[in-house]
Amino acid sequence: MAVYEYTARDGTGKALNGSYSDVDSVATLRDELAKMGYELVKTRRKKKVTRKQRIKQSDVVAFAYQFAGMCSAGLPIAKCLITLEEQAENPAFKCVVAEIRQEVEAGSSLKKAFEKHRKLFSDFFLGMVEAGESASKLSEALNLSAEYLEKRMEIKRKVRSAFAYPIFVGVVCLLVLTGLLVFVVPVFAKIYRQLHVTLPVPTLLLVGLSSLIRNWWWAILLALIPAALALRSILKSALIRAKLDVFKLNMPVFGRLNRLVIVSQFTRTFAMLSSVGVSLIEALHVASVVAHNHKITEIIDELQASIKAGNSVGASLNKYDIFPPMIVQLASSGEEAGALAEMLNKGADFIDNDIERTTNALLARLEPALTVIMGTVVGVILMAVYLPMFDYMQHLK
């Protein structure tokens, strides 16, 4: 089915521009508009936008902020969605907003309309929208959702920056090593053959590796394909993924950073859902879904059971080492003062600052360490290359 861009007018003659997807003809489009009280003036069929076109998280954040602003001004939801559809610059996202608008105009709740696009709108976002709709706090819920998504984007950016440098250095090191093995080592190997020099074990190993890469590079590349498929299959195993999730929390160097990121996400998700009236148990359920870590999901499930049994949030959190004492104390004091969401939000802000400090400290330590490692590896290779030359010169003397 195609997407139709159209111009229509209502009973007062006011013009309306928009787009409609999943209709098979202009006649169907005319009927759909008539049901909403509009008369079709003109239309243009365009090729339907494919989902392969990338929709960025920033598109969703901007959408949520704009939607919140229009709702706070008292505009009807359908009118807000029409305006947002017209303003969307990303063609793929424009199509998504059009489909959401159609669902709402057909009588669906906003949460159910968003639910059909789960790849874009997380369980947290859906929970916030549902709570906002039921409590007549949609504007506040959307605004908080946008703030949450924006903070998550910033955290991801900082964490990626911590991983980017070691990855970059690793790639450069690999390219340098490949260049040495493919271009430099063969030249010296030829010279040593001509001089009939006896090669020491390190040089023999290096020459053998160089020969393997130069003569069998195509076989190595072909072998990588089944290896990658096998690795992908292994990583899909629930048992392996669970073990990897535990490793992520305890891995050297980056383990603490991973724990901070997860605690920040949990705390802010729990706080924001609670602030719009979602029950503690439901807020924990959503936090469990968006955690994307089996170990944390197990912990949150145990937290739910503890709270259902009548224990306080602070006492329940205190059972697990992953939650910093500061978060436990804030939860306890917030619960006593009836300001749990507010106190947990402050805790999440503190954790976010700690993430930034940890990231900067990691980068400060990694940069010199990786430089030394790279220099050592290259130095060892060059030493193995030149070692026979030194022996030969010594023999001449």
Domain boundary among the residues 48, 65, 87 is at: 48
Question: Does 204 share its domain with 352?
Answer: yes
- Predicted confidence at residue 51, as pLDDT, reads 47
Q: How far is CA 250 from CA 154, 244, 245, 307, in A?
A: 23, 10, 9, 27
Q: Are residues 166 and 287 in the same domain?
A: yes
If asked whether residues 341 and 225 sit together in one domain, one would say yes
CA distance 237 to 310: 36
Q: CA 42 from chain center: how many Å?
A: 41
CA end-to-end span of the chain:
85
Query: Are residues 245 and 376 both part of a single domain?
Result: yes
* Count of structural domains, the chain: 2
In a domain, 110, yes or no: no
Tokens of 146: 């946008």
Residues 162 and 277 in one domain: yes
The answer to whether 133 touches 56, Cβ cutoff 8 Å, is no
pLDDT for position 286: 87
Q: Model confidence over 245-300: pLDDT tens digits?
A: 999 899 887 889 889 999 999 999 999 888 888 889 988 988 888 888 889 999 99
Q: What is the pLDDT of residue 159?
A: 78
Query: How many Cα atoms are found within 13 Å in the side-chain-facing hemisphere of 212?
Result: 8
* 27 and 158, same domain (yes or no): no
Q: Quick one: tokens of 363? A: 């980068």
CATH assignment at residue 245: 1.20.81.30
Helix residue ranges per DSSP H, the chain: 26-35, 57-72, 77-87, 91-105, 110-115, 123-134, 138-179, 185-195, 201-235, 238-250, 255-275, 280-291, 294-308, 313-317, 325-337, 340-396
Asked if residue 347 is part of any domain, the answer here is yes
393 is in which domain, residue-wise? 151-397
Residue with tokens 């990121």: 261
Predicted pLDDT of residue 46? 64
Between CA 158 and CA 51 the distance in angstroms is 28
- Other beta carbons within 10 Å of 25: 12
Record the pTM: 0.73
Which regions in the chain score pLDDT beneath 50?
1, 49, 51-52
**Rounded to an integer, what distance in angstroms lies between the CA atom of residue 270 and that of residue 279?**
10
Structure confidence at residue 47 (pLDDT): 55
43 & 157 share domain: no
φ and ψ at residue 143, rounded to 5 degrees: -65, -45
pLDDT 10s digits, 76-104 = 898 899 899 888 888 889 888 988 988 88
Looking at the fold, whether 265 and 385 belong to one and the same domain comes out as yes
Domain annotation covers residue 64: no
Q: Distance between CA atoms of 363 and 160, rounded to whole angstroms? A: 11
